[in-house]
Chains A and B, each alone.
Chain A
Amino acid sequence: MSSIVISGDTSGAITLAAPSVAGTNTATLPAAAGTVMVSGNMPAFSYYLSSSQNITAATWTKITFNTKTFDTNNNFDSATNYRFTPTVAGYYQINVIYASNSTGSNPIYSAVAIYKNGSALNYAYQGTSAAFACPSISTIIYFNGSTDYVEFYAYMYGGTGTLQAYGGSLYTYVGGSMLRSA
């Protein structure tokens, strides 16, 4: 037998198939209850800031990530609230890179933050002697799969001229992926 098909009571079916190569392989289910996660139902997303966003000095400003690279479960709001609200509960790796830029030449002090449900969860600060800095955060966050969300805030002071989150897919971006279920 090369596969086992389990049919649902009303519709749908699950097929467990053996690979078409020689040898015996064993997959053991853990002694735990819950939803079996496979690559097809573990959300992943990537967005970036399409054009530079002005940042008011010394004011935490939400980054308006507005352009999608991919979003497998359509869990990122890139039009209104600019937040990630996964609908599958679990632990997620979240990464954000903030390219901060002053159109002047003086040193700047920059920071990026992840806010969970409206409150700061993680900060990353960077002071530089140049007019450009790229603080970043890489962390693991638990989401309940319904109401939990994260947003991303930028901060700058110093410099001369306009303070900006530098736009473009290469510069200011965010991404994440589910690591394991709850």
Chain B
Amino acid sequence: MTLYEKIKAIYPSLEDKDFLTVITLQNDSNGAGDYIKEWNHPTLVKPTQEQLDAIK
């Protein structure tokens, strides 16, 4: 499951457009994988690593 899918599972109300406006996910193609570069959602808090790891 990708980081994007995990975040959508935690916050089903998120829309795809949110990932272009208030949330930025990034992958630098260096083997480190996807990460949250910016989280500026006005109401939803950035998920913790524990929350993300709990999603399988």
- Count chain B residues whose beta carbon lies closer than 8 angstroms to a beta carbon of A: 16
Whether A58 is near chain B, meaning CB under 8 Å from some CB there, is: yes
Q: For chain A, residues 74 to 111, give those with C-beta under 8 angstroms from any C-beta of chain B.
A: 80-82, 109, 111
Q: Tell which of A56, A153, A158 touches B2, judged by Cβ atoms closer than 8 Å.
A: A56
A153 and B20 CA atoms in complex are apart in Å by 13
Whether B29 is near chain A, meaning CB under 8 Å from some CB there, is: yes
Secondary structure dominating the interface of B: mixed
Having A59-B25, A62-B27, one finds 20 other A-B pairs with CB under 8 Å, namely A56-B4, A56-B34, A57-B2, A58-B19, A58-B25, A59-B3, A59-B19, A59-B26, A60-B26, A60-B27, A61-B26, A61-B27, A62-B29, A63-B29, A64-B29, A80-B30, A82-B29, A125-B20, A155-B20, A157-B19
B37 surroundings in chain A (CB, below 8 A): 60
**Which residues of B are in contact with A by a Cβ distance under 8 Å?**
2-5, 16, 19-20, 24-30, 34, 37
Q: Tell which of A58, A60, A82 touches B16, judged by Cβ atoms closer than 8 Å.
A: A58
B2 surroundings in chain A (CB, below 8 A): 56-57, 59
Interface residues on A, range: 20 to 34
A81 and B2 CA atoms in complex are apart in Å by 23
Which of chain A's residues has its CB closest to B29's CB?
A62
A81 and B29 CA atoms in complex are apart in Å by 8
A53 surroundings in chain B (CB, below 8 A): 29
A-B contact pairs, 10 of them (CB 8 A): A56-B25, A56-B34, A57-B4, A59-B3, A59-B25, A59-B26, A59-B27, A62-B30, A82-B29, A109-B16
A158 touches B26 (CB 8 A): no
Q: Interface code A32-68, partner B: CB below 8 Å = 1, 0 otherwise?
A: 0000000000000000000001001111111110000
A56 touches B27 (CB 8 A): yes
Within the complex, the shortest CB–CB distance from A103 to chain B, in Å, comes to 16
B4 touches A58 (CB 8 A): yes
A176 and B33 CA atoms in complex are apart in Å by 28
Q: Tell which of A63, A81, A153 touches B26, judged by Cβ atoms closer than 8 Å.
A: A153
A157 and B3 CA atoms in complex are apart in Å by 14
Q: Tell which of B3, B16, B28 touches A158, judged by Cβ atoms closer than 8 Å.
A: B16
